[in-house]
Amino acid sequence: MGAPEFRLPEIMTTAQQTWRHVAYGVLEGRADNYPCSRLFSNLLVVLIAANGIAVVLESNLVLRESYREFFVAFELFSVLIFSVEYIARLWAATEKPKYAGLSPLRARLRYALSPMALVDLLAIAPFYLALLIPIDLRYLRLFRLLRLLKLSHYFDGLHVFGTVLRREAGAIAGALMIMIVLIVISACLMFSVENAARPGHFERIAQAIWWAVVTLTTVGYGDITPVTYGGKLLAIVIMLPGVGKMALPAGILAARFSEELQSCREMLRGRVRDALEDGVLDTLEQSALDELREELGLSDDDLKRQVATQRRAMQRHNCCPHCGESLSDPD
């Protein structure tokens, strides 16, 4: 009689996959299947915001000395939570649909090199580096502020904004170049006109550049102002077109952001319509829609609204507009 088969590793593997799937659902905010994911996300958002507030308060010497133990304990607690979160995300990365077909090692490596994973790593790396090498506390506080970037995990609009920045990089760079040229030309002209009249203020082009920036951006500190009639007239000529030029990048981003958001919703609407063509949204179709929603940077509410809208549209099309009776063929 042969020895009985030992199947514990298979059971452990199945359990491991199950827990990994649950971890992925909770971390990625699958609120429908894992209600605790919303609570988890909200707690992390609060913790990230509290870290930003702590950095601001700790810059006050009196507060830092009075509550030193509290700040140290809060930092240790935050690093512990963020470290566990990073490790959990790295472990559950193999559950991402876009990494399907890759080995666990390659999937986790691909995730570790993604922008979001690098942000998570930067949020905790300075703490561990400070244990190995001395780091100036001012720079350490600056690095701790990078934890605010983790909020991009929980605000879907930031993904759309990042996409807009990438796609409109050329247009924004062109607008910035126009701004720089306008600032330099304005500074050189003002230096030429005002240098003789006010040698203490416009004695260098660098000072004139400072004046051009605060003037064209309508900040107007008033620490450097022209006094000659020629300088004032030149300032008027510079300011009038300059206001529009400085607002150009913001206008490009606002218009493109609106277009990108509408385009993403139209794409999601089309996929939802295709998935509901047979009247049923099965598990595979729901998973595909979730993956598309995540790639487009849209929220769960956007997907739910699209599904509900398409269901209502299908119900209207299948009913008589006069009597309300179903137009579907009877079985």
In this prediction, residue 157 carries a pLDDT of 63
Residue 73: per-residue pLDDT? 92
Any idea which of 17-31, 35-49, 223-237 has the lowest mean pLDDT? 17-31
Higher pLDDT among residues 62 and 162, named by residue: 62
Note whether residue 1 is domain-resident: no
Most confident of 58-67, 69-78, 169-178, 219-228: 69-78
pLDDT in tens, 89-98: 999 888 887 7
Residue 272 included in any domain: yes
Rounded average pLDDT over 211-239: 81
The rounded distance, in Å, linking the Cα atoms of 153 and 248 is 29
Q: Which residues of 238-277 are buried (b: 16+ CB within 10 A; e: fewer)?
A: beeebeeebebbeebbeebbeebbeebbeebbebbeebbe
Note whether 33 and 98 are same-domain residues.
yes
| Residue 152 per-residue DSSP state | G
On whether both 23 and 150 belong to a single domain, the answer is yes
Shared-domain flag, residues 303 and 173: no
Helix (H, G, I), strand (E, B) or coil at 319: strand
Lowest-pLDDT range, 170-174, 203-207, 295-299? 295-299
| Phi, psi angle pair for 135, to nearest 5° | -130, 135
- State the Cα–Cα distance between residues 55 and 127, nearest whole angstrom: 14
Q: At what angle do helices 104-112 and 115-132 cross, to 10 degrees?
A: 80
The residue segments making up the domain with residue 125 are 16-154
| Domain shared by 240 and 188, yes or no | yes
Same domain for 143 and 27?
A: yes
Give the separation between CA 151 and CA 191, rounded to whole angstroms.
45
Establish if 139 belongs to a structural domain.
Answer: yes
Q: What is the DSSP letter of 4?
A: P
Provide the residue type at 173 as one letter: A
**What percent of the chain clears pLDDT 70, i.e. is strictly above it?**
81
136 and 213 belong to one structural domain: no
Token reading at 328? 């579907």
Indicate whether 230 and 264 sit together in one domain.
no
Q: The CATH number of the domain where 205 resides is what?
A: 1.10.287.70
**Looking at residues 52-59, what average pLDDT do you find?**
86
CB environment 197-224: b (16+ within 10 A), e (fewer):
ebeebbeebebbbbbbbebbeeeeeeeb
Q: Are residues 44 and 69 in the same domain?
A: yes
Query: Are 240 and 163 in contact, with CB atoms under 8 Å apart?
Result: no
Q: Quote the pTM value.
A: 0.60
Collapsing DSSP to helix, strand or coil, 326 comes out as: strand
Tokens standing for 196? 């003789």
**In the predicted structure, residue 297 carries a pLDDT above the cut 80:** no
**Averaged confidence pLDDT in the chain:** 77
- Same domain flag for 149 and 21: yes
Evaluate whether 122 touches 146 at the Cβ level (below 8 Å).
Answer: yes
For residue 284, is it within any domain? Answer: yes
Q: How many CB atoms lie within 10 A of CB 45?
A: 15
Of 120, 154, 188, the one marking the end of a domain is 154
User: Helices 205-216 & 169-194, crossing angle to 10 degrees?
Assistant: 120
Is residue 2 domain-resident?
A: no
199, part of any domain: yes
Q: Give me the number of domains the chain comprises.
A: 3
pLDDT, position 80: 92
Q: Give just the sign of the alpha carbon dihedral 99, 103, 104, 105.
A: negative
What integer pLDDT is reported at residue 3 of this predicted model? 45
Please write the tens of the pLDDT for every residue from 99-150. 877 888 888 898 888 888 888 888 888 888 878 877 665 666 677 777 777 7
Give the mean model confidence (pLDDT) for residues 298-306.
76
**pLDDT at position 9, please?**
39
Give the end of a domain, one of 228, 246, 264. Answer: 246
CATH number of the domain bearing residue 38 = 1.20.120.350
Q: What is the pLDDT of residue 12?
A: 39
Q: Do residues 38 and 125 share a domain?
A: yes
Asked if residue 254 and residue 190 are part of one domain, the reply reads: no
- Whether residue 25 lies inside any domain: the answer is yes
Positive/negative CA dihedral, 81, 86, 92, 95: positive
The CA distances from residue 317 to 245, 274, 324, in Å, are 50, 15, 10
Among 246, 266, 296, the domain boundary falls at 246
Residue from 250, 277, 106, 254 nearest 176 by CA? 250
CB atoms within 10 A of CB 23: 16
150 and 20 housed in the same domain: yes
Q: What is the pLDDT of residues 234-277, one digit of tens each?
A: 888 888 777 777 777 777 777 777 777 788 888 888 888 888 77
